Chains A and B, each alone.
Chain A
Amino acid sequence: MYSHDVIIVGGGLAGLRAATESSKYADTAIISRVHPLRSHSGAAQGGINAPLGNAGEDDWEKHAYDTIKGSDFLADQDAVEIMTKEAPERIIEMEHWGCPFSRTKEGKIAQRPFGGAGYPRTCYAADKTGHYLLVTAYEQVVKRKIKVYSEWFVTSLIVDNNSLKGLTAFDIRTGDFEPFKAKAVVLATGGAGWLYGKSTNSMINTGSGMVIAYRAGVALKDMEFVQFHPTALYPSCILITEGARGEGGYLLNSKGERFMQRYAPKAKELAPRDVVSRSIQKEIDEGRGVRNLYVHLDVRHLGREKILKGLPGIRDIAMDFAAIDPIKEPIPVQPAQHYTMGGVDCNSKCETRIKGLYAAGECACISVHGANRLGGNSLLETLVFGKIAGENAGMFSSSLEDGTQNAEGIIQAASESEKKRNSGLMEGNGDEDPSIIREEMRALMVDKVFLFRTKTDLEEAKTKLTGLKQRLKHLRAISDCKIYNLDLIRAIEVEEMLDLSEVIVTSALNREESRGSHVRLDFPNRDDLKFLKHTLAYKTPDGLRIEYSDVKITKYPPEERKY
């Protein structure tokens, strides 16, 4: 049995930042299914928001207002205030730790315009900001000699009497189960993009941290709010940063028309992501897409030098994955799932309802993004709330005498039962293949639970998901090899992803209004009277239960959202 005061699940930006902070107070370890440097944070391109004012006047209140308006007023305003006030400090800290931000003429951190923001607020390092931030955060973990369990797969949380006791996990490199004892756990496992057949996410983004919290009794909040990024490369759905439009790129339909002028006359290409994604989808649906499949993102007019300097990464991506050089040709793009606004229900201290369990980053829902996240705010959330979660988990665990004293029996038993569950999969005698079920689910989510939703579609999706869950009970035998058993990992993931899809569909079905990223064609308007509320989805023995909680409104009363 391994034992640490604080265990951080996930080695992306939120997890690394949490670990750095927590290690000041308590013995801390990171456990991650991949080496931290393989985390999805590294794929973030465009930048990280902070009202530094390096490219024009700005302050936290403007940043907060833009974030809240962008969220379609579903964000908790106290949490947004914390995030935007702490933003400069967190970014300066990363700079002091060596993050190679691009620079202004005066030598300050460079900032570029991003969607839904009134000012050029997005600090950037070319178009590889996430990669550089991830490397920088990892360097600090190496410097502090924080223990990292790389390539371990966490299967469940151990909770007794509403207190966190530890977790169960197996070492992917040996296949061995090992219980972990902990006084506090921070979930920082990222989003659930892989539920969708079209997604910009890494293939490891299956939402596993969300599921283990959900199964332990924590609600998943606002899961119906899924962000679709307007410009994913066709057909692979690899991300093409919003920075391409921030630098001045145009979106063109098959007639060569800058169609965003029609949908958002003022902001045009730099309207928030939900608005731009729907506009692109409309162009395609109404027959003005190129080959009826995608639209063009044109950056040619920016010129070779600006592209090579500001967008070298997306040039490589376009050349490697679409055989197109953006200096010479427009880039084919389509909307694709990009971000999970919802997540593990927690407050602005990152606390969940289970004592000792915290969440931060994309897997958490605090909520700072509400119904639609602004570009550049996700990296910011990981650092601000990663630190807060690490601090609170570290302080909480050091204040405990030894809460896990008598828990060894429970922890051992939990690990044994998880081990049995895995062996059960290897003894399956059905004929269903998990990868086929997964691909049917991913196609269903794109067909029925995408940008435009209706009651009919959502009900159909729900029925089909129930069918897929039934089929999952009749799986073929999963490979019983011990070392690096991908067949096993991917079978476990399918079960987890089906649970999450069910939560998304049920939450979307119950929210009979259109707000931010969640658009119901049968309820086209925002309904503040009934739905200015957070959805809470609980797993109960009788199935999924939906509840609602109030949105915290401090300074900015809801108003119509126009761009």
Chain B
Amino acid sequence: MRTTPDKIRLRILRFDPENNLEPHYDNFTVPTKPRMTVLDALFHALEKQDGSLAFRYSCRSAVCGSCAMYINGRQRLACNTQVSALGSNITIGPLPHLRVIRDLVVDLEPFFQKIDMIKPYFEAREPFPAKEILQSQKDREAIDVAIDCIDCAACFSACPLSWTDPNYPGPAAFLKAARFIRDTRDSTMNQRLALVACEDGIWRCHTVFNCADACPKSLNPTKYIQYLKRKSTFSRRGRSAQN
């Protein structure tokens, strides 16, 4: 790790649709402190220099997914990115390829609407047992990692298909679908496979791993998209479709 400089320069992409015709960069010089994160630096800029700066925040511990943004050329969470890892010049923009509401705040409605395309809720077979549905430790392990998505939309913003195809659900949606399909307790595998294996679905993935590269939780949606491709090829539905 590099040593932290005394001061850093933030170069922040600003845009206020009410007053600006085009986005522009503003510079902020911020004094550093040990273990300072990019989010800390943004708060310094907001409170000491420009009260009109807009960004999202909540947990500041990398579990809520609020503060995904574009920092020095890649999607990251501002809260778990140490300033010391970036050097003295930090360029910050909103997540690319999403409509900017203001400054670093983007419109995530399309992201959540696309997740809705895969029926994003669990459905076990009813009637439910009186107690928990039993699941072996091994079966539970099958959904490990896939359940850790924090819906920050970093992957969505990095995915070339999500940029261009309005009907492509996108990496987070597919990861969520895989989470349900891999869960031995869920009963809607075939319906969900039909939803993800449609014309604008998993087969459109270019397998460029941008989503995996962008994920601040080190998840690998591409791997799960490949899983869904296999699953849909070998599933009964897939076979009967061939017949």
A residues near B (Cβ < 8 Å) are 34-35, 37-40, 42-43, 92, 95-98, 100-109, 128, 131-132, 135-136, 139-140, 142-143, 173, 202-204, 235-236, 238-239, 313, 316-317, 320-323, 433, 435, 478-479, 481-487, 490
Contacts of B186 in A (CB 8 A): 98
- What are 14 A-B contacts with C-beta separation under 8 Å? A35-B108, A43-B61, A95-B133, A103-B137, A106-B134, A131-B150, A173-B101, A202-B60, A202-B64, A236-B60, A313-B63, A323-B1, A486-B46, A487-B46
A133 to B66, CA, bound (A): 18
Contacts of B59 in A (CB 8 A): 38, 40, 42-43, 202-203
A53 to B18, CA, bound (A): 59
A108 to B16, CA, bound (A): 52
A481-B18 CB under 8 A given contacts A108-B132, A143-B121: yes
- Distance between B155 CB and nearest chain A CB, rounded to angstroms: 15
B133 near A96 with CB under 8 A, answer yes
Q: Which of B111-132 contact A (CB under 8 A)?
A: 112, 116, 120-122, 124, 128, 130-132
- Beta-carbon nearest neighbor of A239 in chain B: B61
Contacts of B17 in A (CB 8 A): 483
Q: Which of B1-33 contact A (CB under 8 A)?
A: 1, 16-18
A98 to B176, CA, bound (A): 12
A322-B140 CB under 8 A given contacts A96-B128, A98-B124, A143-B121: no
A139 to B179, CA, bound (A): 13
Size band of the B side of the interface?
A: 35 or more
Q: Which of A98, A128, A478 contacts B51 (CB 8 A)?
A: A478
A40-B136 CB under 8 A given contacts A98-B185, A131-B150, A479-B52: no
A329 to B121, CA, bound (A): 40
A321 near B80 with CB under 8 A, answer yes
B58 near A132 with CB under 8 A, answer no
A106 to B135, CA, bound (A): 8
- Distance between A299 CB and nearest chain B CB, rounded to angstroms: 18
- Beta-carbon nearest neighbor of A238 in chain B: B61
Contacts of B124 in A (CB 8 A): 96, 98
B120 near A37 with CB under 8 A, answer no
Q: Which of B51-80 contact A (CB under 8 A)?
A: 51-66, 80
B residues near A (Cβ < 8 Å) are 1, 16-18, 34-35, 46-48, 51-66, 80, 82, 101-103, 105, 108, 112, 116, 120-122, 124, 128, 130-137, 140, 143, 147-148, 150-151, 180, 183, 185-186
Interface residues of B: mostly helix, strand, loop or mixed?
loop
A483 near B18 with CB under 8 A, answer yes
- Distance between A511 CB and nearest chain B CB, rounded to angstroms: 32
A320 near B64 with CB under 8 A, answer no
Contacts of A39 in B (CB 8 A): 58, 64
A408 to B64, CA, bound (A): 37
B134 near A321 with CB under 8 A, answer no
- Beta-carbon nearest neighbor of A108 in chain B: B132
A239 to B134, CA, bound (A): 31
- Distance between A549 CB and nearest chain B CB, rounded to angstroms: 34
- Distance between A198 CB and nearest chain B CB, rounded to angstroms: 13
- Distance between B137 CB and nearest chain A CB, rounded to angstroms: 5
Q: Which of A132, A143, A236 contacts B147 (CB 8 A)?
A: A132
- Distance between B139 CB and nearest chain A CB, rounded to angstroms: 8
B58 near A204 with CB under 8 A, answer yes
B52 near A37 with CB under 8 A, answer no
Contacts of A313 in B (CB 8 A): 63
12 other contacts beyond A34-B66, A321-B35, with CB at 8 A cut-off?
A34-B58, A35-B108, A42-B63, A43-B59, A96-B128, A131-B150, A140-B121, A143-B121, A320-B80, A320-B82, A321-B80, A322-B35
A42 to B16, CA, bound (A): 31
- Distance between B114 CB and nearest chain A CB, rounded to angstroms: 13
- Distance between A193 CB and nearest chain B CB, rounded to angstroms: 11
A484 to B51, CA, bound (A): 11
Q: Which of B18, B121, B140 contacts A102 (CB 8 A)?
A: B140
- Beta-carbon nearest neighbor of A109 in chain B: B132
Contacts of B140 in A (CB 8 A): 100-103
A203 to B63, CA, bound (A): 13
- Beta-carbon nearest neighbor of A132 in chain B: B147
- Beta-carbon nearest neighbor of A100 in chain B: B147
Contacts of A107 in B (CB 8 A): 134-137
